[in-house]
Amino acid sequence: MDTNRKNRVSRLLQKDLGEILQLAGRDWFPGAMITVTKVYVTSDLSIARTYLSIFGKDANEVLKQVENRNKEIRRQLGIRVKNQLRQVPELRFHIDDSLDYIENIEKLLK
């Protein structure tokens, strides 16, 4: 699979998932702000590993709520990307802890 195609699909999914979680997330996850930081797509475009940065509430609790709404999120994503992709990839959500890691490194350097 062409890496340019994978990169374009990853960016498309990141943008659309971010919009979905921003608009519908107000009702689904009150008090939490969710940001899609990175999306990695497998070479056959069947699985999208999505990394979320969660603020305002317990990240693990919100991640469980996001996983419970996985089918609904995937359906809305399918509506948005129906002209660009034949098949909507399976979504797998993970917590992005890179900001915590950076903060810890800065603390150690001081």
Domains for the chain: give ranges and CATH numbers.
3-109 (3.30.300.20)
Q: What is the pLDDT along the chain (110 residues), one digit of tens a residue?
A: 468 889 999 999 999 999 999 888 888 888 888 899 999 999 999 999 999 998 888 888 989 999 999 999 999 999 999 888 889 999 999 998 877 777 788 888 88
Per-residue pLDDT, 52: 93
Q: Which long-range contacts (CB under 8 A, 24 or more apart) does 25-29 make?
A: 28/65, 28/69, 29/57, 29/62, 29/65, 29/66
CB 34 within 8 A of CB 53: yes
Residue showing tokens 């809305």: 76
pTM listed for this prediction: 0.84
Alpha carbon distance 66, 43 (integer Å): 25
